[in-house]
Amino acid sequence: MRKLTIEEFNEIDFDVVNIDYAIHEFGKFCPRDFFQDDSYDPEYHYWRSNISGLAFMKSKCGIEFNFSWYARGGSEGYMEMHDFSLGVDMDDGGTWDIVGAEIIDDEGDKVDSEEQVEAIVSAVNGLEWEDAVRKILPKPDAPVDLDIGKGDRDRSDTSNTDAALKRFSLQQNDCSDVQFTGRLLCGVESADDYCESEDDSDASFRWTNLNLYKTKGGEYVCERILHTLFEHEITKHEVEVCHSKNEIIEFFGQGWLAEHLYERQGFANLVETE
């Protein structure tokens, strides 16, 4: 095993060979304490992104090391949640391992664990590991052009390649299922609604999914699912095929969850007039 001082270790060129990660929190959250019956107050919704992992580095001379990293996003909105700040995890729970070398001090003695961590941090600060991490972090959904007008469905849509298309069968409560080939443009989900049961001895939940699809032929399919866990209620499935932005907004409405979907798709919650 090679023995290197911190300075010698920092002079070695390392490449990223692998990035492992785990998503601990990622999405829109609503503190349950603020629920009143089955209502929502958007003021208490916030965003959270908390991701961490390990970066594995290797040099041409065979020396390897790995270290813990973290990524934190903003809490102000959907786009801010994807604006990550990266850092090296120096807490006690972090991982710091060197393989194929031993770090020594100027007298030739093995350094303690704290000094070894300092050596790794010094090496990490000079590496391009952040670029490799950012490549695997979640990306915000790209806004889709929904400015639909006459002849728009005849234009070539490179996003609707056969490789990107799937077969969907959307359930409806009172009608036949809606089946089509296309892709899911966007899906949003409310946080779980907290509701007291009728006898006030148990808790049940309601929540909503809004999904927007685009078919291979250029139509837009809107889906709303009103979930419930109440025994005396049923989950409602509603689907409608739309040809314009007006029709999409008319179906989803102008509530806070619909506004979230409109924001992610890059168009205003406004009905157009002739």
Helix (H, G, I), strand (E, B) or coil at 118: helix
Helix (H, G, I), strand (E, B) or coil at 190: coil
Query: Residue 223 — pLDDT band, cuts 50, 70, 90?
Result: very high
Query: Residue 260 — pLDDT band, cuts 50, 70, 90?
Result: confident
Neighbours of 221 (CB within 10 A): 22
High-pLDDT (> 90) share of the chain, %: 14
For the ranges 59-73, 142-156, 209-223, the lowest mean pLDDT is seen at 142-156
Evaluate whether 49 touches 199 at the Cβ level (below 8 Å). no
d(Cα 262, Cα 252) in Å, to the nearest integer?
10
2-136: CATH class: alpha beta
Query: Across 75-89, 139-153, 155-169, which has the greatest mean pLDDT?
Result: 75-89
Query: Residue 78 — pLDDT band, cuts 50, 70, 90?
Result: confident
Q: Which one has a higher pLDDT value, 109 or 122?
A: 109
pLDDT, tens digit (0-9, with 9 covering 90-100), for 134-150: 888 887 764 444 444 33
- Both structure tokens of 141: 């959904």
- Both structure tokens of 254: 């102008």
Query: Residue 248 — pLDDT band, cuts 50, 70, 90?
Result: very high
For the ranges 109-123, 147-161, 179-193, 212-226, the lowest mean pLDDT is seen at 147-161
Q: What is the mean pLDDT of residues 29-58?
A: 65
Q: What is the mean pLDDT of residues 228-232?
A: 75
- Both structure tokens of 197: 């049961």
Q: What angle do CA 169, 172, 174 make, to 5 degrees?
A: 145
**Parallel, antiparallel, or unpaired: how do β-strands 101-104 and 2-5 relate?**
parallel
pLDDT of residue 30: 55
For the ranges 52-56, 61-65, 123-127, the lowest mean pLDDT is seen at 123-127
DSSP string, 8-39: HHHTS-EEEEEEEEEEEEEEEE--GGG-BTTB
Query: Residue 37 — pLDDT band, cuts 50, 70, 90?
Result: very low
- Integer distance in angstroms from the first to the last C-alpha of the chain? 77
Q: What is the mean pLDDT of residues 221-250?
A: 88
Q: Is the pLDDT assigned to residue 191 strictly greater than 50?
A: yes
Q: Is the pLDDT assigned to residue 269 strictly greater than 50?
A: yes
The number of helix segments (H) and strand segments (E) in the chain equals: 6, 13
Q: Which long-range contacts (CB under 8 A, 24 or more apart) does 229-234 make?
A: 229/204, 229/205, 230/195, 230/197, 230/204, 230/206, 234/173
For residue 263, the one-letter residue type is: E
d(Cα 13, Cα 139) in Å, to the nearest integer?
30
Q: What is the mean pLDDT of residues 149-166?
A: 46
d(Cα 84, Cα 133) in Å, to the nearest integer?
10
pLDDT of residue 192: 40
pLDDT of residue 71: 92
DSSP string, 36-101: BTTB--GGG-EEEEEEEEEEEEEETTS-EEEEEEEEE--SSSHHHHT--EEEE--STT--EEEESE
Residues paired with 186 in a beta bridge? 212
- Both structure tokens of 177: 């299922």
Whole-number mean pLDDT of the chain? Answer: 76
What residue segments make up the domains of the chain, in order of their start? Answer: 2-136, 152-265
Query: Residue 80 — pLDDT band, cuts 50, 70, 90?
Result: confident
pLDDT of residue 233: 83
Length of the chain: 274
pLDDT of residue 79: 81
